[in-house]
């Protein structure tokens, strides 16, 4: 993928998505933290998020051109803004966790209260029965009417306790059913807490810290990587353009029958001994034009050719 012309766009898209989501979570988390000025905090945090990414890009592009004060201050500012963004993300995720577990914790607390009330009613019921037995045992055996009156006095109280116990046990059963359905949202956290032998809050905090450790720092590094890829691509385009312009401006010699160089087209070289001189007089067989032969003439008794 690194040699693909679309790889730079994948870097830019990844940087945009991660940086955008980190900024959104951070802005929302900070706004919930300072809920008294929600809109003002959203504007301030959003501006700082954009400035952080622009500052990181500026430092990478102009590091060798700026003075030491700009380098130190802008580097520290970027690191501090990364921590602020991470704190905002922590607030957002903590708020989401509390929203998911609020009903679960409410039902769990109510269930504990009901169980404590059931235990108290059981103790009261046992105490009334023991008190009734003691009161009956103190009466003589022939005091049957008195014993009956004692039972009639205690039975309504015991019956009322039994009725209350039945109502609380019914509510406990309903809450246990609701906890099963509500616990689906926090089921993984409960399972991890049981696995590591700790409470749910500790497990959730641990995973939130892991997320914020790689979230915003990765966004900043991807923005820097995108700038690096852009610079490298622009440099390559300039080099290719200069090569093309250099080839186009190179003059071609008119007398050179081979404009592509002497390697592709070589002129044959003959030795002096192998050079065959052509005769000065044209041969008849080589001359397609017939030569007119004049008849000899005689002058002074001498034939002249």
Q: Residues 252-270: pLDDT tens digits?
A: 554 555 554 444 444 444 4
CA contacts within 13 A on the Cβ side of 262 = 3
Cα distance between residue 244 and residue 267, in whole Å: 29
pLDDT single digits (tens) 225-246: 999 988 888 887 777 777 776 7
| Rounded-to-integer distance, Cα 263 and Cα 269, Å | 14
Q: Are 112 and 176 in contact (CB under 8 A)?
A: no
State the DSSP H helix or E strand holding residue 298, giving kind and residue range, or none if neither: strand 297-299
The C-alpha atoms of residue 248 and residue 237 are separated, in whole angstroms, by: 17
Instruction: Give the pLDDT band (50/70/90) at residue 33.
Output: confident
In this structure, what token pair is assigned to residue 279?
């005769």
pLDDT tens per residue across span 155-198: 888 888 888 888 888 888 888 777 777 666 677 777 777 787 87
Confidence (pTM): 0.58
CA distances from 269 to 1, 48, 254 (A): 53, 77, 21
């Amino acid at each position: 993928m690194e040699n693909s012309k679309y790889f730079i766009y994948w870097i830019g898209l990844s940087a945009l998505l991660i940086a955008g989501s980190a900024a959104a979570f951070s802005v929302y988390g900070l706004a919930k933290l300072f809920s008294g000025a929600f809109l003002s905090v959203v504007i301030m945090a959003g501006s700082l998020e954009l400035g952080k990414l622009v500052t990181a890009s500026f430092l990478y592009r102009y590091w060798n051109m700026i003075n030491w004060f700009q380098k130190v201050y802008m580097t520290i500012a970027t690191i501090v803004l990364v921590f602020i963004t991470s704190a905002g993300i922590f607030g957002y995720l903590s708020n989401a966790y509390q929203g998911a577990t609020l009903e679960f914790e409410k039902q769990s607390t109510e269930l504990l209260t009901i169980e404590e009330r059931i235990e108290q009613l059981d103790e009261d019921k046992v105490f009334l029965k023991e008190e009734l037995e003691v009161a009956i045992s103190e009466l003589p055996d022939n005091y049957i009417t008195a014993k009956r009156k004692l039972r009639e006095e205690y039975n309504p109280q015991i019956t009322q306790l039994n009725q209350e116990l039945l109502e609380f046990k019914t509510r406990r059963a309903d809450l246990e059913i609701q906890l099963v359905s509500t616990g689906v949202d926090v089921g993984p956290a409960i399972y991890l807490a049981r696995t590591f032998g700790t409470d749910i809050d500790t497990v959730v905090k641990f995973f939130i810290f892991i997320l914020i450790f790689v979230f915003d720092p990765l966004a900043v590094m991807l923005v820097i990587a995108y700038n690096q890829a852009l610079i490298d691509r622009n440099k390559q385009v300039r080099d290719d353009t200069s090569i093309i312009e250099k080839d186009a401006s190179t003059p071609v010699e008119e007398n050179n029958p081979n404009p592509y160089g002497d390697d592709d087209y070589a002129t044959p070289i003959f030795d002096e001994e192998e050079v065959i001189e052509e005769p000065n007089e044209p041969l008849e067989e080589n001359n397609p034009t017939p030569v007119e032969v004049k008849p000899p003439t005689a002058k002074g008794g001498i034939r002249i050719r």
